[in-house]
Amino acid sequence: GAVVSQHPSRVICKSGTSVKIECRSLDFQATTMFWYRQFPKQSLMLMATSNEGSKATYEQGVEKDKFLINHASLTLSTLTVTSAHPEDSSFYICSARGGLAGDEQFFGPGTRLTVL
């Protein structure tokens, strides 16, 4: 299957700082990328959907000014957690679909964010 990478895999930051997480589709062009958040022992919660070149669509309850999403190219989307607080600590997973990959969504390995 197609490969989606995330960087970093793990990040620890101080409260009040901003953290950027990258999601890349390595062998296909992702017209759509999704960002999920997963709390311990819980399901994935969709945060936003981004289409290349346009603004992201955020799910209800997700603050767009806090979770900035940029999908500037067909292989890269970034999620920036601005002014992070301990309650933002979570596992963030991206997925991508599009191009020759068809309708299937391919998931990245996730990024563990810990805010101290």
Partner 1 sequence: GEDVEQSLFLSVREGDSSVINCTYTDSSSTYLYWYKQEPGAGLQLLTYIFSNMDMKQDQRLTVLLNKKDKHLSLRIADTQTGDSAIYFCAEFPTDKLIFGTGTRLQVFP
Binding residues vs partner 1 (CB under 8 A): 1, 4, 6, 34, 41-44, 46, 49, 93, 95, 104-110, 112
Q: Are strands 10-13 and 111-115 parallel, antiparallel or unpaired?
A: parallel
In order of 41, 85, 87, 104, the CA distances from 67 in angstroms are 22, 12, 13, 25
Amino acid at 44: L
- Structure tokens that stand for 67 in this block: 């979770």
Query: In angstroms, what is the minimal distance from the CB of 83 to partner 1?
Result: 26
Question: Whole-number minimum distance, CB 18 to partner 1, in Å?
Answer: 23
Find, among 34, 12, 13, the residue nearest to 23 by Cα: 34
**Least distance from partner 1 to the Cβ atom of residue 90, Å:** 13
Nearer to partner 1, 9 or 15 (CB): 9
Q: Least CB distance from residue 35 to partner 1, whole Å?
A: 12
State how far the Cα of 15 lies from the Cα of 18, in Å rounded to an integer.
9
